[in-house]
Amino acid sequence: MFLDSKRIVALLLACPLFAQTAAQSSKVDATGSVVGQAVIAIARERAAAFEKGDCQKWASYLDPDFHDIEGNGTTGVEKLVQECEQFKTLPQYRMQRILSDFHVTLIGQTVAVLDYHYDVRETFGSVVLSDPHRQIDIYEKRDGRWVGVQAVSAIEVTDPPAAEMSGAQLDPYVGEYRWVGAPMVDKVTRKGDKLFIQATGDLEPTELVPESAGTFFIRGQLARVSFVRDKNGSVTEENAFSPTDHQGYHAKRVK
């Protein structure tokens, strides 16, 4: 089931182009139109370019000021291209980007809003991770060409209550964990009373929020990270998984 117009507007108010045009124009369902098919084709071409590691072609469909709103903040074209280039160099890495269930809303004659299902499947050696979500893209028509100006991830996840943990309680989890069956390493660090994780290829760390003793979540995501202790109480392993499909990976502490 796709998102209704109220939800689309709520998610995209951060885009001045969308807000200004929406105030002046009526919304028209254009999914089956020439415009709708053209915008859908661009989304598929963008996904294919990123999947193949053709980072510059992926960026060529976007405005230089394009930004992607995700659970952890907003990312611009330059940073997204850097991520694309980073993953190209990872050994035994493969990506699939599967798009489906398209819905196009035309606002006036120059703005198109594309709402669709987006499943990103990544293979790291023998480890396969899946990130299905809804994506909304805004395109503006310029000189006869549709250009992407903004995207937003439309997954709605209710975070659990965060548990209280001091810096001293978080210290045992700090270290490096090598994925089993994949050439990836998770680096876990602490800053004050917060724990962070950064995997090989990530440009910056992501906060791990404590849910319970030994189990952490990432705000806005279904993923969970749990740590395993040995009989002496030392943290020796890390497990990452999704509560919905239990896909994930296992990692051994190496430092």
37 and 126 belong to one structural domain: yes
Residues 6+ apart with CB under 8 A from 133: 117, 118, 119, 153, 154, 155
Whether the per-residue pLDDT at 139 is higher than 90: the answer is: yes
45 and 133 belong to one structural domain: yes
140 and 39 belong to one structural domain: yes
What mean pLDDT is predicted for residues 48-59? 93
108 and 186 belong to one structural domain: no
What mean pLDDT is predicted for residues 63-69? 90
Work out the pLDDT band at 130, boundaries 50, 70, 90.
Answer: confident
Whether the per-residue pLDDT at 186 is higher than 50: the answer is: yes
83 and 188 belong to one structural domain: no
Query: Which of 8-12, 29-33, 49-53, 233-237 has the highest average model confidence (pLDDT)?
Result: 233-237
Farthest-apart Cα atoms in the chain, separation: 67
Whether the per-residue pLDDT at 73 is higher than 80: the answer is: no
The CATH number linked to 196 is 2.40.128.50
Tell me the two tokens of residue 136: 């909304």
What mean pLDDT is predicted for residues 27-39? 87
Q: What total of structural domains would you count in the chain?
A: 2
Give the pLDDT confidence score for residue 1 in this predicted structure.
Answer: 29
Residues 6+ apart with CB under 8 A from 48: 97
2 vs 251: which has the higher pLDDT: 251
Give the pLDDT confidence score for residue 161 in this predicted structure.
Answer: 93
Give the pLDDT confidence score for residue 157 in this predicted structure.
Answer: 67
Other CB atoms within a 10 A radius of the CB of residue 13 amount to 11
The CATH number linked to 29 is 3.10.450.50
To the nearest 10°, report the CA torsion of 93, 83, 238, 97.
-50
Give the pLDDT confidence score for residue 108 in this predicted structure.
Answer: 84
Question: How many angstroms separate the CA atoms of 249 and 200, rounded?
Answer: 14
Give the pLDDT confidence score for residue 156 in this predicted structure.
Answer: 58
Residues 6+ apart with CB under 8 A from 119: 96, 97, 98, 99, 100, 130, 131, 132, 133
Whether the per-residue pLDDT at 123 is higher than 60: the answer is: yes
26 vs 33: which has the higher pLDDT: 33
> Domain range for residue 35?
5-153
Whether the per-residue pLDDT at 63 is higher than 90: the answer is: yes
Q: Judge contact between 139 and 114, C-beta under 8 A.
A: yes
61 and 171 belong to one structural domain: no
Whether the per-residue pLDDT at 24 is higher than 60: the answer is: no
